[in-house]
Structure 1
Amino acid sequence: MEITINQKASYKEQLQDIIVDISWSKISSKYFGKSVSWIHNKLSEIDGNGGKGGFTEEEAQQFKGALYDLSERIRKTADNFKA
């Protein structure tokens, strides 16, 4: 009998490919109106007091939308870039 443990990858694991290339301060400010420490706590899955935390379902959807918006802005910029 095989036992499978279903563990969700951490936020930072899910963002591994882009985490050092993004200004989290700008994402936090532009899309949430919050400080950089707020988003770092969310990404580290801690609350402001050091306990367990993370994104609410609504914040997770907003964060996903922010990433889609940023990717679209990058794509449009690349499409319009001329040497």
Structure 2
Amino acid sequence: MDIKQTTQQKTMKQQMYDILLAISWGNLAKTYFAKSPSWFYHKMDGRDGNGKPTEFNLEERAELKGALVDLSNRIRRAADSIDL
């Protein structure tokens, strides 16, 4: 099994482990997806509100990637604005 297959089997929450507590996921859901925080958390956990398996579709994955890149750029700009 290659690394790409292993990554696809993990939930998005597992893939985001390193930054999980550093980001307001509810705010990200509203700002970038125009969805509720609960919708987003269910997608992250890989289970919908009824406990059935769910995941981000390809379009949603691209949107999440873009949101994280945008957020990282905003953080970089904020850091660069700090005078030393």
Unaligned runs of 5+ in 2: none
| Off by >3 Å, runs of 4+ in structure 1 | none
Which stretches in structure 1 are left out of the alignment for 5+ residues? none
Structure-2 separation of matches of 1:82 and 1:28: 32
Q: Equivalences for 1:1-83 in 2 at 5 Å?
A: 4=1, 6-7=5-6, 8-82=9-83
Q: Between Structure 1 and Structure 2, which shows a larger proportion of helix residues?
A: 2
Provide, for residues 17-63 of structure 1, a one-character-per-residue CA deviation record: whole Å limited to 9, x for no partner: 10011001110000001111011001001123210101010000000
How many residue pairs match? The answer is 80
> TM-score by structure 1 length?
0.87
Distance between the aligned counterparts of 2:33 and 2:11, measured in 1?
21
The percent of aligned pairs where both chains have the same amino acid is 41
When Rg is computed on C-alpha atoms for both structures, the one with the higher figure is 1
Q: RMSD over aligned Cα, in angstroms?
A: 1.5
TM-score (norm 2): 0.86
